Each structure stands twice: as structure tokens, then as C-alpha cells.
Structure 1
Amino acid sequence: MYLLEKKLFKKIIPNRTSVCVTPMKVEITLEKLQPDVEWPQLQQLEESDKDKMNGLDKKKENLLNPFSGKSTHEWDKLTKSIKEDEEEGSIDTFFRKIYNEGDDDTKRAMIKSFQTSRGTVLSTNWKDVQHKNYEQDKTLQDKKDTV
């Protein structure tokens, strides 16, 4: 078991926190109490650093990616666009909801069908997916198409 305790830079809305655990990562999504305040880092600053950062709280600036070269992106606009897509109910959001609310068999079926079919099939029925070989079916279909 691993425990990590950190004080966040500013306050969040606890009931809007979501956690997604996958075999490769743990993704934690937090919503700021004050969405218009930029966080230069995730953790709370030391007292000596707070004086330096007060200027950032007062000035609202568009943050630009310093590594983007000539074409600079306004990351606030990108974030806003992503949030709008999620609110509109994109297909990805729909599939995430099915996965997150599904039982273990549903999750297993979604993972196996999508991975073994190379992204062409997404099933939630483990009884159908359990013994199915999408890779072999794809190879047979490809051979039929070439004949």
C-alpha cells in the first residue's frame, strides 16, 4: 500500500473528484473551487514562495506552451474546449461511463474486444467475448476480401 499526502495549491470541490484506476496508471481529476485562478503547481507553496505567487493570482494571463515554437496554443482555450466536449456528452464520455459503471465482466469484455480487434469491436457482453478470437476472425475476413 502506498500513501501520499499533499496540501493542494488552492481549494477544490471534493464531491467533484473522480478517480480512474487502470493497470498502468491512477488518474485523479479534481475541480478547482476558483476555476479562474491559475495553479502554477499542484502543491501548496511555502510561505516564502507565496509572496512571489501573489502576482499570478491578481493577473490573469493566457499561458502559452514554451515548447510549441512558432504555433503557440492557448491552453486555457484547449481546456475549455475539452470541458465543453465532455458536457456535450461525447462518445468517449459515454463509453467511459459504461466502463466505470460496469461490473468486472463488462470491463473485461470491453478491454478484450477492443484490444484484440485492434479497435474495431467494442462489446460489453463477456459471455460472447470470452471465447471469441477477434484477431483470427479479422485475418479470415481479410483473406475473403482479397479473393
Structure 2
Amino acid sequence: MPTSFGPVELYALEFPDDRIPDPVKAELLKLVESEQVRIIDLVVVRRPLDGSVEVVEIEQVADQLELVGIGLAAPGIAGQEDIDAISADLPPGSSALVLVIENVWLRGIVGAIRDADGIVLAAERIPAEVVNALAEIDEPGDLAPLTD
């Protein structure tokens, strides 16, 4: 039987140096321990000051990220095309954490929808910055639609 996944999302998180900050590592560990999400793939992309690109797989940074022993569900989902696009935008001296996660908590509803011959018509991730900015607007008439 093939592996069944819930919704999967790819995040590319840029940092101004070649290390993943400790608070980010701590939150990543909480995600893994919560079992609400599952890490499907994880890659660190570094662009040293000389402008070269270094791609580091989880096996090479598991100790640094405190994720020793974590098995990725589908390594390689963050493909070379994704990594190339992300690394092209990284300034020298920075790094990116490329993280593909599965929203495990949605598996049940996805299965129920499929079993009922339903389909997902739309799904959109709204960045926290957008939601927070919208929440600060006083007049509901000032709100722009979330989608075009």
C-alpha cells in the first residue's frame, strides 16, 4: 500500500548568516515532537561570502539542528529545481533552511473528503505577516480580498 500523506508544504526560511538560529532549531524540534507535523524533507542551503552555494542534507546537519535519528518521510521532495531557485535569491553570507512538512493533523479530513468523492477546490497559505497586518486594520471596509 502506498504511503498516504496529508497536505504538504515547502518553506524556505532565510537567515542572515550561515547558521540556523537556536530559537528556530528549538521550535523545529517542538514540531517534530508534537507529531502534528512530520518532516518530509529538510535541506540547508548556504551561500558563503565568496558567492558559492553549499547544499547540506539533514544527515550532515542533524547534530547541529538537534534532529539526530529523525527519518525523513520522502527525502528529495525538495528537488534540485526548488533548491536552485532558493539559492539564486540568497545573498552572500546567508543561509536558508528548506523544510518540507506534512500537516499530519489533516490526514483524517483528507481521507474523509476522498472517501466521500469530494475534492479540495482551493487551499491557500496566508503568511502570518499578512494576517497580522489585516488584524490591525480598524475598518472592515478597508480590507482587500485575500485572493485575486
Q: TM-score range by the shorter chain?
A: under 0.3
Greater fraction of residues in strand: 2
Greater Rg by CA: 1
Higher RCO (CA 8 Å, separation ≥ 6 residues)? 2
Greater fraction of residues in helix: 1
TM-score by length of 2: 0.23
TM-score by length of 1: 0.24
